[in-house]
Amino acid sequence: MKIAVCIGEGPYNHEAADSAYHFIRAALDRGHQIQGIFFYHDGVHNVNALMEPPQDERHMANRWSALGATGIHIVACVTAAKRRGAMEQVAHVELAGLGQLAMMTIQADRLVCFGD
């Protein structure tokens, strides 16, 4: 199945992005295809290249970057990112418009949203 994922909450403060990450890993393990991952609202902070968590904690942005390096299309909403001053993304993450969310939703079999 082709799955699109939308994440609407920021890192560390909220479990949404962690849940999404574990869901995506589990879906890939089961042979599903991830059509794309879209970060919206405060979710854009998840791929902020400037984050620097303590070394003994999970580095959430690098985790997404590693997923992106495998070829999964990862997008942070440019309008949401500009509002929040989060314009520097980790590698393998694209900054683009809501049209990307529209396209991945239309092209996927399922859209799964993580947030409040």
Q: List contacts with another protein (CB under 8 A).
A: 4, 6, 8, 40-41, 79-80, 97-99, 101-103, 105-106, 108, 110-111, 113, 115-116
Q: Please tell me which residue in 5, 37, 74, 77 is annotated as part of the active site.
A: 77
Q: Is 55 exposed, middle or buried (0-12, 13-18, 19+ CB in 10 A)?
A: exposed
Distance CA 3, CA 41 (A): 20
Task: Provide the minimum distance between the beta carbon of 24 and another protein in the complex, in angstroms, as a whole number.
Answer: 17
Task: Provide the minimum distance between the beta carbon of 108 and another protein in the complex, in angstroms, as a whole number.
Answer: 8
* Closer residue to another protein in complex, CB, 19/105: 105
Q: Rounded to whole angstroms, what are the CA distances from 86 to 36, 53, 54, 72?
A: 20, 16, 20, 21
* Closer residue to another protein in complex, CB, 45/63: 45
Q: Is 77 a catalytic residue?
A: yes
* Closer residue to another protein in complex, CB, 21/40: 40
Q: Which residues contact 54 (CB under 8 A, 6 or more apart)?
A: none
* Residues with catalytic roles: 77
